[in-house]
């Protein structure tokens, strides 16, 4: 049985063109760089990070943590509003009653950012999941 497993792994390595097997690849935005968490490689654009994953790993499923990227691109008044909403709910233990449409402000984190939209068009064979706090969205 172990010989069969060894043969299967060897066959997978040959078929994948020496790409490393990986099941969970996550790309995060940290300090103005997109970081592939598996190996720590840093890139200026998400497209470059996706190309790195495509060329070096044998997976087409990638998790994207774009939270910090969106916060960097959001204007200050919107960020202050988000903090006020979160502060009331967390620190004051008050049930927050949002005005109609006000809680939609947080939906921006669940939608693809501009760079992710471009990458999804370029790499149509890859599957990208948006994650927030290590929880898959959608």
Residue linked to tokens 């919107």: 78
- Are 38 and 22 in contact by the 8 Å Cβ rule? The answer is yes
The 25-30 sheet, strands edge to edge: 41-43, 33-36, 25-30, 61-65, 127-132, 135-136
Mean confidence (pLDDT) of the chain: 84
Please report the pLDDT score of residue 2 as a whole number: 65
* Residue 1 pLDDT > 60: no
Q: What is the reported pLDDT for 71? A: 92
- Distance CA(54)–CA(40), nearest Å, equals 15
- Asked if residue 8 has pLDDT above 60, the reply is yes
Whether residue 95 has pLDDT greater than 70: no
pTM assigned to the model: 0.75
Say yes or no to pLDDT of 96 above 60: yes
Q: What is the pLDDT averaged over residues 20-49? A: 90
Residue 26 has pLDDT above 70, yes or no: yes
- Strand, coil or helix: what is 77? helix
Which whole number is the average pLDDT over 60-88? 88
Structural contact between residues 27 and 43, judged by C-beta atoms closer than 8 angstroms? no
pLDDT at 100: 77
């Amino acid at each position: 049985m172990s010989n069969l497993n060894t043969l299967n792994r060897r066959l997978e390595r040959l078929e994948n063109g020496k790409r490393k097997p990986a099941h969970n690849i996550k790309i995060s935005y940290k300090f103005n760089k997109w970081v592939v968490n598996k190996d720590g490689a840093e890139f200026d654009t998400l497209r470059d990070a996706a190309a790195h994953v495509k060329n070096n790993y044998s997976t087409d499923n990638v998790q994207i943590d774009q939270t910090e990227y969106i916060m960097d691109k959001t204007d200050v008044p919107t960020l202050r509003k988000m903090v006020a909403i979160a502060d009331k709910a967390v620190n004051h233990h008050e049930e927050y009653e949002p005005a109609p449409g006000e809680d939609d402000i947080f939906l921006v984190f669940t939608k693809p950012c501009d760079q992710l939209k471009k990458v999804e068009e370029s790499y149509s064979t890859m599957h990208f999941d948006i994650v927030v706090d290590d929880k898959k969205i959608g």
